Amino acid sequence: MKQLTLKALFLSGVAAFSMNVHASSVYDQCVDDAQKLIAAGIEGGNTAAREVQQSTTIDQCKAALTEIEAKYEGQFKFEKDGKEYVRAPYSVMTAEDREMWATLFNAIDTKNFMGVRYLMAVYYRQ
């Protein structure tokens, strides 16, 4: 009887964890993946970081980045004198969205095993 209770408890814990993972946004998962890679890089270098299991793909993270940019598309793309001009998307974003955009951009760099934070973690272990 104890085994049945422990199995039920374990299964309910796994189900709750998996629902929690699916409930969090792609943004949160991308940032979490980047933090895991950086932590692994500090501990074990580039080899250890490349062995970390990631919960999202780079394409999913780029799609989340595009969603943030889509809110401002009419503002950073404009026409003047018959020519189409494009500004950097972050130049027209609110401070909150700019911070999210920059954090996600850095996370994508880290997931590509590039970027300042990742390189500092794997090479200098800091």
User: Residue 23 has which token pair?
Assistant: 């409930």
Q: What is the DSSP letter of 124?
A: S
| pLDDT band, residue 20 (cuts 50/70/90) | very low
Task: Determine the 3-state secondary structure of 73 from DSSP.
Answer: helix
Q: Give the pLDDT score at 74.
A: 80
- Amino acid identity for residue 101 in this structure: W
| pLDDT band, residue 2 (cuts 50/70/90) | low
In angstroms, the CA 98 to CA 17 distance is 30
Chain segment 65-93, per-residue pLDDT in tens:
999 999 988 888 788 888 888 888 888 99
Tell me: pLDDT of 11 over 90: no
Helices (H) and strands (E) in the chain, counts: 6, 2
Count other Cβ atoms within 10 Å, centred on residue 77.
13
- Amino acid identity for residue 38 in this structure: I
* pTM: predicted TM-score of the whole model, two decimal places: 0.74
Q: How far is CA 89 from the centre of its chain?
A: 18
